Amino acid sequence: MNHRLVLRQGPPLRVDARALTPALLGALSADEVRRLRLPHGREGVMLAELFDVRPGRDDGQHALVLEGDLSRFDAIGAGLAEGTMEVHGPVGDAAGLGMSGGRLLIRGDARDLAGCAMRGGWLEVDGSIGDLGASALPGERDGMRGGTLVVRGAAGHRLADHMRRGTVVVFGDAGDFVASRMVAGTLALAGRCGVHAGFGMRRGTVLFAGPAPEPAASFVPVNSDAPVFWQLLARDLARFGGPFDGLSKRRVDRWAGDLAVLGHGELLIPH
């Protein structure tokens, strides 16, 4: 059965919430869910001490709903492979860490490392995310490798650092070093970004649907259009709506780089 977990009060320490997946909890009764132990600081805590466990909507799909201020809960939806998880409220670090499938919808803010090392699935954050969204875990070389990350608010620094595959769509602003060391994949940004966009990117695409930064000296203009690719990309991004709708009617300038590395990446600047 599907469950709805309503936070009664915030925990005093940080909680590792990666055990809370729709598939796992869907196989448990409400009592079994209440008896789950979650890592809490250096100890563990019974789920029932933190949450009221209520029945969720049952439509044949695995679905899990969390409600409340979960900003002290890290790794929510980490490793998610199937089913839908919806969080009404802010969450902590590493939401959707390494998820490979399913849908994780966060109706609030997420902190650092959201969608980090993601391999598939759909992660949507209605609020803003912290630094290193869709990037690699510290010390690792593989960032996001598949799936889709949608951020309705803003993103912090190092967004899509080391990203290798997949799509990141940000409606708001982003910090410094967006798509730094990007290996491939697509980042579409509607707001402003900080300095050093595309720093060290090897391949991949960064699209500035809104205000675009001045490309760095290690990027060169491309003297031909890519109308087919642009239409394919713009028509696909149109499904996100808002600033990404109508891109296909605009013309686009392309810049190739970062020439300090492979230089097969591109910055797309519609006008």
Partner 1 sequence: MQRRGITIDDTFAEAFPMKATRLVITAHNATWAMHAAVAATGFATSVIACGCEAGIERELEAGQTPDGRPGVAVLMFAVSGKELAKQIERRVGQCVLTCPTTAVFAGLAEGEPANLGRNLRFFGDGWQTSKVIGGVRYWRVPVMDGEFVAQESTPVIKGVGGGNLLLLATGTDAALAGAEAAVAAMRRVPNVILPFPGGVVRSGSKVGSKYAALPASTNDAFCPSLTHLAPRTELDADVRCVLEIVIDGLAETDVAAAMRAGLAALVERGAEAGVRRVSAGNYGGKLGPFHFHLHRLEPAEDAR
> Nearest approach, Cβ of 176 to partner 1 (angstroms)?
26
| CB closer to partner 1 out of 88 and 202 | 202
Smallest distance from partner 1 to CB 144, Å: 12
Position 166: which residue type?
G
- Beta-strand relationship, 145-151 and 165-170: parallel
Closest approach, Cβ 1 to partner 1, in A, equals 32
Residue 229 CB, shortest distance to partner 1, in Å, is: 6
Q: Could you tell me the smallest distance in angstroms from the CB atom of residue 106 to partner 1? A: 23
Residue type present at position 182: M
> How many residues are there in the chain?
271
Pick the closer one to partner 1 by CB: 55 or 227: 227
C-alpha 1/C-alpha 60 separation (Å) is: 9
Give whichever of 58 and 225 is closer to partner 1, judged by the CB atom.
225
Closest listed residue to residue 138, CA positions, set 89, 87, 97: 97
Cα separation, 254 vs 265, in Å, equals 10
User: What does the longest C-alpha to C-alpha distance in the chain come to?
Assistant: 65
User: Which DSSP category does 125 fall into?
Assistant: E
Smallest separation (angstroms) from partner 1 to the CB of 167: 8
162 or 254: CB nearest partner 1 = 254
Q: Considering beta carbons, is residue 146 or 153 the nearer one to partner 1? A: 146
Task: Compare residues 125 and 207 and give the one whose CB is closer to partner 1.
Answer: 207
Please give the residue ranges that form the binding site for partner 1 (CB under 8 A): 165-166, 184, 186, 203, 205, 224-229, 231-233, 235-236, 248, 264
Residues facing 269 on adjacent strands? 253
With contact defined as beta carbons under 8 Å apart, do 166 and 142 qualify?
no
- Which residue carries 């409600």 as its tokens? 67
Token digits for 221?
A: 């203009």
Q: Which helix (H) or strand (E) holds 196?
A: none
Shortest Å, Cβ 146 to partner 1: 8
Whichever of 20 and 233 has its CB closer to partner 1, that residue is: 233
Which is nearest to 196 in space by CA: 182, 176, 211, 214? 176
CB nearer to partner 1: give 51 or 230.
230
Distances (CA, A) of 241 to 3, 53, 150, 247: 31, 35, 12, 10
Q: How far is the CB of 161 from partner 1 (least distance, A)?
A: 19
Q: Give the pairing of strands 63-67 and 3-7.
A: parallel
Alpha-carbon gap, residue 181 to 163, rounded angstroms: 8
